[in-house]
Amino acid sequence: MLNRTRAGYAGEQRVDQEWQNIYLEHMYYLLHDVVLKAEGGSIHQIDTLLMSQNFILIVEIKNIVGHIEYMEDHHQFIRITSEGKVDGFRNPFDQVKRHARFLRQIFQKAGYHIPIIYMIVSANPNMIMTSSLSAQPIIHVSGLAEKVEQLFLRYSRVCLSEKDLEHIVEHILKKHEPTQWIPDIEWGELRKGALCSQCEYQHKVRYFYGKWRCSKCQRIDNKSMLVALQDYQLMLGNNISNEQFRNFFDIDSERIAYYLLKKLKFEVVGENKNRKYIIPAKLLD
């Protein structure tokens, strides 16, 4: 999941760099990572919006390696790797069409009528587009500047005044609702406790007579508790109770758990059984 996210982010950065090298004489706004929510609660996450007086362009960025086939009748996007492995992907054309329908509704409700177009931009030169994509709105990032120039030639009529364009951009920004991904992880799926780095995190480090000692190699690693708490914070949240601490680190004594938590000098909220210890974002240097 992290690798996919990193690949997607790297792709967006590559396309953002290309935008910086594009000079346009026309007035326009460029909005990145726009998140809009429909009345029914569905989310529209748009990689890039080019908003001009002539047209609105929705850009969906893909960072995929391999030969890409598009089965239009089945709305299926397929990647074939150099090893011959076949992977299915979410169809990006249906995705941007959905965004376009939603934006069209927003503009019509606001009383504006302007062409809303879309395209897919491949950020990776190692994405090989097969002939099945020849009729689809998809290009490599290297052709972005030329494509945008062609769009301004094609949509030469000015549909919005400068004031109206500014107004609709402000309207979109007000509707923008940035979201933070919250992992949905079951407690029972986790390997609990501090794990020994010397044993490649395969064995637990247990608290014994004031020290954290590996149950396998017997190495003392007092830092392992902090590493485990950081994992806990990233996956389950930034607050932990005495009971949760004991459960996670397999400690029987409530008194020992209280001692260890107090020693960490975390911020405390609540009292008695409702007491929670706030795990700081930067627990490790």
State the pLDDT at residue 91.
Answer: 87
Length of the chain, please? 285
On whether residue 149 sits in a domain, the answer given is: yes
pLDDT tens digits for range 221-245: 889 999 999 988 888 888 999 999 9
The CATH number given to whatever domain includes residue 76 is 3.40.1350
Question: Is residue 110 scored above 70 in pLDDT?
Answer: yes
pLDDT tens digits for range 47-106: 999 999 999 999 999 988 889 999 888 888 899 988 888 988 888 999 999 999 999 999
Question: Is the domain of 169 the same as that of 205?
Answer: no
Question: Is the domain of 169 the same as that of 43?
Answer: yes
Report residue 176 as tokens: 């923008």
Question: Is the domain of 265 the same as that of 200?
Answer: yes
Dihedrals φ, ψ of 222, to 5°? Answer: -70, -20
Question: Is the domain of 120 the same as that of 255?
Answer: no
Q: What pairs with residue 37 in β-bridges?
A: 43
221, 212 Cβ separation under 8 angstroms: yes
Question: Is residue 285 scored above 70 in pLDDT?
Answer: no
State the pLDDT at residue 90.
Answer: 83
Amino acid at 259: Y
State the pLDDT at residue 183.
Answer: 67
pLDDT tens digits for range 151-207: 999 999 999 999 999 999 999 999 998 877 666 777 777 788 899 988 988 899 999
State the pLDDT at residue 112.
Answer: 92
On whether residue 43 sits in a domain, the answer given is: yes
Nearest C-alpha neighbor of 78 from the set 129, 6, 124, 122? 129
Question: Is the domain of 126 the same as that of 196?
Answer: no
CA distance 62 to 56: 20
Question: Is the domain of 8 the same as that of 112?
Answer: yes
On whether residue 127 sits in a domain, the answer given is: yes
State the pLDDT at residue 81.
Answer: 86
On whether residue 184 sits in a domain, the answer given is: no
CA distance 215 to 258: 23
Query: CB-based contacts of 155: which residues, under 8 Å, 6+ apart?
Result: 54, 55, 115, 117
Question: Is the domain of 166 the same as that of 217?
Answer: no
| End-to-end Cα distance, the chain | 25
On whether residue 180 sits in a domain, the answer given is: no
Report residue 121 as tokens: 């931009």
278, 266 Cβ separation under 8 angstroms: yes
Question: Is the domain of 209 the same as that of 70?
Answer: no
Overall domain count for the chain: 2
On whether residue 185 sits in a domain, the answer given is: no
On whether residue 268 sits in a domain, the answer given is: yes
pLDDT tens digits for range 140-149: 999 999 999 9
Q: What is the CA radius of gyration of the chain?
A: 26
Question: Is the domain of 168 the same as that of 201?
Answer: no
Q: What is the DSSP string of 106-145?
A: HHHHTT----EEEEEEE--TTEEE-GGGTTSSEEEGGGHH
* Residue bearing tokens 């590559």: 14
Chain-wide mean pLDDT for the chain? Answer: 90
Q: Which domain holds residue 274?
A: 192-278
Question: Is the domain of 161 the same as that of 207?
Answer: no
State the pLDDT at residue 234.
Answer: 83
From 175, 201, 233, give the residue that closes a domain: 175
Question: Is the domain of 121 the same as that of 252?
Answer: no
Question: How many Cα neighbours within 13 Å face the side chain of 123?
Answer: 20
- % of residues, the chain, pLDDT over 90: 60
From 150, 175, 200, give the residue that closes a domain: 175
State the pLDDT at residue 213.
Answer: 93
Pair type for strands 66-71 and 127-129 = parallel
On whether residue 171 sits in a domain, the answer given is: yes
From 128, 150, 175, give the residue that closes a domain: 175
Question: Is the domain of 53 the same as that of 147?
Answer: yes
Which spans in the chain are helix H?
2-20, 92-109, 144-154, 162-175, 224-236, 242-249, 254-264
Largest Cα–Cα separation, the chain: 78
CA distance 228 to 244: 13
